[in-house]
Chain A
Amino acid sequence: AQSVTQPDIHITVSEGASLELRCNYSYGATPYLFWYVQSPGQGLQLLLKYFSGDTLVQGIKGFEAEFKRSQSSFNLRKPSVHWSDAAEYFCAVGTQGGSEKLVFGKGTKLTVNP
């Protein structure tokens, strides 16, 4: 069965610093991978996705992620964090088949210090 691990429950960075959020997945076939962001009390917003092709994908809000098959990882990065990036971030892996179900990690909460 598919699974996603986000090893860091909570990360704190200073505004302007770089950011990397870790995500490891378990899936037998070629995965469909996603990163979502959630502000408190809100729904989830899709940041970026990887389906195939170039392993470095660009998303909204200046985020990027790199797919590394050998490490079963899909880490999210941003070169310079803004205070508005404070939120919870979820990595997800999509399943094969018509249901298009996603399996989510437990999330990483990002705090940005001024």
Chain B
Amino acid sequence: SQTIHQWPATLVQPVGSPLSLECTVEGTSNPNLYWYRQAAGRGLQLLFYSVGIGQISSEVPQNLSASRPQDRQFILSSKKLLLSDSGFYLCAWSVNREQYFGPGTRLTVT
């Protein structure tokens, strides 16, 4: 069966520091992959999606970037974090239009 992993589970980082969040999927090939951010009371905001290795689409202009170096690996990065980057980050993969979510990473920027 398919499994999606995210790490770390929680992260506290100072303003201006770099960021790297990793997401990996097991048990499937060539999935679509997604990064979402969830802020309190604001639902889920799609940040990036990828339909294949090296193919990244950005949904909103921001301080973040994404990469897909391998078929089942999706990385969310920042060179310098802002306070507004705090939130709950969720990775997801899709098959037949159904999206399945990872456990999430709680990021606090101090």
* Contact between chains at B57 and A45 (CB < 8 Å): no
B44 contacts A104, CB within 8 Å? yes
A46 in contact with B98 (CB, 8 Å)? yes
CB pair A106–B101 under 8 Å, yes or no, is no
Known: A43-B103, A104-B43, A104-B44. A98 touches B51 (CB 8 A): yes
Report yes or no: A106 in contact with B41, Cβ–Cβ below 8 A. yes
A107 pairs with B97, CB closer than 8 A: no
Instruction: Let me know if A101 is at the binding interface, CB within 8 A.
Output: yes
**Complex Cα–Cα for A42 and B99 (A):** 15
Q: Known contacts A101-B49, A104-B43, A106-B42; decide if A45 and B94 are in contact (CB<8 Å).
A: no
Which residue of the partner chain, among A43, A49, A106, A107, contacts B98 with CB atoms under 8 Å? A49
**CA of A45 to CA of B99 in the docked complex: distance in angstroms?**
9
Asked whether A32 is an interface residue with its Cβ less than 8 Å from the other chain, the reply is yes
Q: Mark B79-110, 1 if CB is under 8 A from A, else 0.
A: 00000000000101010011111111010000
B→A interface (CB under 8 Å): 32, 34, 41-44, 46, 49, 51, 57, 90, 92, 94, 97-104, 106
Q: Which residues of A contact B (CB under 8 A)?
A: 9, 32, 34, 36, 41-46, 49, 51, 90, 94, 98-107
A-B contact pairs, 20 of them (CB 8 A): A32-B97, A34-B98, A43-B102, A43-B103, A44-B90, A45-B101, A46-B100, A98-B32, A99-B32, A99-B49, A99-B51, A100-B94, A100-B99, A101-B46, A101-B49, A102-B99, A103-B46, A104-B43, A104-B44, A106-B42
